[in-house]
Structure 1
Amino acid sequence: MTIMIIGLLIFLGSHSVRIFAENWRQQQIAKLGETNWKIAYSVVSLVGLAVAIYGYGQMRLDPFMVWYPPMGLRHAVALLMVPAFIMLVAAYVPGNAIKAKLGHPMMLAVKIWAFAHLLVNGRLGDIIFFAAFLVWAILAFKTAKKRDRLSPPAPVNTSKMATIATVLLGLVAYAVFAFYLHMLLIGVPVFG
């Protein structure tokens, strides 16, 4: 579990710079240049994510159960993940009304994903893993909304087609992940 926690600290730590050290971040961008900053940030993030995922896999080999979630909660998770995938896609499709309305749909998607997975995972390592992401998403969303209040983003022209495409892509991504990739990558079937 230690490896997973180290990975989480690296990954979520790098993603928390805007929460806790925005001035330092701006200094580094000025010093290194935006491109070099993004490269360094990406490398640190990817290393942290890889270590966290490896550690998560290792933690699952020797689990410590805190509680045994009822099987019925799996249905709630499957349902909660539908809007999470749509919001995740909304973060990247330009001109969609979902992003315009929510402002930071990726952080909301992470909140839903983490909360949903806390409902159905009773191992200590799972609780630490998903709770860490939930706490990060709550803090990151709060910080982003504060930045928006201080410097409101420019209004975005939205289109129905972009919004429809966002929803459809989110549903397709959900279906592919739920019916195929979750079992392949995580080793746990979503349905069944």
Structure 2
Amino acid sequence: MGYLLLILGIALWIGGHLFKRLAPAKRAAMGENAGKGVMAVVLLASIVLMVIGYRSAALVTVWSPPSFMIHINNLLVLIGLWFFALSAIPGKMSARVRHKQLTGVKSWAIAHLLVNGDLASIILFGAMLAWAVLSVILINKAEPTWERPANASARNDLIALVVAVVLFGVIAVVHTWLGYYPLPMSGA
């Protein structure tokens, strides 16, 4: 049942995010506020289903990642969080990367694929990576031109990095609380 809920949650997540791009007339017919409300409920339901499905999926080990991957994972997660922060705090890097949040998702998904060799993780993080790549392709096709932000500040890049480090710390605490220790242990 866990895998079914996980896949249903992923399908809702991808469908909810791509609905506006793949069926713009139907999305527009829903109205601005009602459409956002419906999509918020769909996306919240997708997250709940993914979490329940992932946590209840039977463990099927596909491969065993080497222990050094945790360092690469943490770096890629930090980079992903930095791109998310850059989407709200325009720095010089913001002017170079069009899809900051989707780039952050790709970095996060790759990071988790490197350290999780179980089937549920491969399904979840592989699907999130595929969704982010597909979203970039669809956005670039629909909106081929992009106006780069002007007057970007290198100082903002540093502020975004500090925000990313703080978020990383919070996420590390939550992961530890859930029983997934994200930091390398001494002697490991």
Q: Normalising to structure 2: TM-score of the pair?
A: 0.87
How many residues get paired?
A: 182
Distance in 2, matches of 1:12 and 1:28, equals: 15
C-alpha separation in 2, matches of 1:147 and 1:169? 31
TM-score, normalising length: structure 1: 0.86
Moved over 4 A (4+): none
**Residues 41, 157 of structure 1: CA spacing in aligned structure 2 closer, same or farther, 3 A cutoff?**
farther
Structure 1 unaligned runs (5+)?
Answer: none
- Report the secondary structure of 1:188's partner residue: coil
1:139 aligned partner:
134
More helix by share: 1
How far apart in 1 are the matches of 2:120 and 2:30?
A: 37
Alignment match, 1:177: 171
Paired-residue identity, %: 28
- Distance in 1, matches of 2:157 and 2:63, equals 40
**Structure 2 stretches of 5 or more lacking a match?**
none
Partners of 2:91 and 2:71 in 1: how far apart? Answer: 28
Query: Deviations along 1:117-167, whole A, 9 cap, x unmatched?
Result: 111111111111111001111111122233342x43474442344333212
1:39-118 equivalence runs, <5 A = 39-59=37-57, 62-93=58-89, 95-118=90-113
**Alignment partner of 2:96: what SS?**
helix
Deviations 1:153-192 (A, max 9, x none): 47444234433321211122122222x122124x201112
- Tell me the secondary structure at the aligned position of residue 102 of structure 1: coil
1:158 aligns with one of 128, 147, 152: 152
